[in-house]
Chains A and B, each alone.
Chain A
Amino acid sequence: SQQGEEDPQALSIQEGENATMNCSYKTSINNLQWYRQNSGRGLVHLILIRSNEREKHSGRLRVTLDTSKKSSSLLITASRAADTASYFCATGSDSGGYNKLIFGAGTRLAVHP
């Protein structure tokens, strides 16, 4: 079963605009990760944020984590056509889950030139 919801399910924007995707989860976590997937291919790791962190940056990516609300957001700034992909959040449990990740349903992002 999936951990939670991602919102929106689909997002369509123009190049240069910012894209924000949200993720909610249900259980206590050790970390939350964001991945990108192009057209049913393998997943590419974007960023990992631990439960004691509130915000993390990597290039044009900014991730926030609110453990009290059990939610996270991914912001992609100045989007490019190459950012077109599906984005997934995944949570790692804090109860000995080792490397078991629970994925959300994903957000399909389309960036138009």
Chain B
Amino acid sequence: KAGVTQTPRYLIKTRGQQVTLSCSPISGHRSVSWYQQTPGQGLQFLFEYFSETQRNKGNFPGRFSGRQFSNSRSEMNVSTLELGDSALYLCASSLWDDNEQFFGPGTRLTVL
């Protein structure tokens, strides 16, 4: 089975712009979670989707949003980018609740 894929792998944007990141989960996995990783804050949970519904949201401003499609693929969007949004954004998929999560390689976003 193919693993979790994320596109693009690298992205450079300027302050004020918006960005959309994409994640394709492992086939059959309906849960997709997003995490942000920065040197200062570490790994932080953004949100989780299951069957197109957001079930959980982390403590991030409304500029961070996401969605999930009927084929379980997910996108996250960050609007009005700030320098502090520079991070590695990781997507993970899971077959069941409270089970292991499989992570993609991440999208490294740089905001200039």
Contact = CB atoms under 8 A, between A and B. Distances in A.
Interface string B88-100: 1010101001111
Nearest to A48: B100
A42 B94 CA distance: 15
A99 B90 contact: no
B31 interface: yes
Contacts of B105: 41-42
Contact of A99 (B41, B88, B101): B101
Interface stretch (A11-19, A67-75, A100-108): A100-108
Interface residues of B, number: 31
B103 A99 contact: no
A41 B45 contact: no
A103 B35 CA distance: 10
Interface stretch (B11-19, B48-56, B65-73, B74-82): B48-56
Interface of B: 4, 31, 33, 35, 37, 41-45, 48, 50, 55-56, 58-59, 88, 90, 92, 94, 97-106, 108
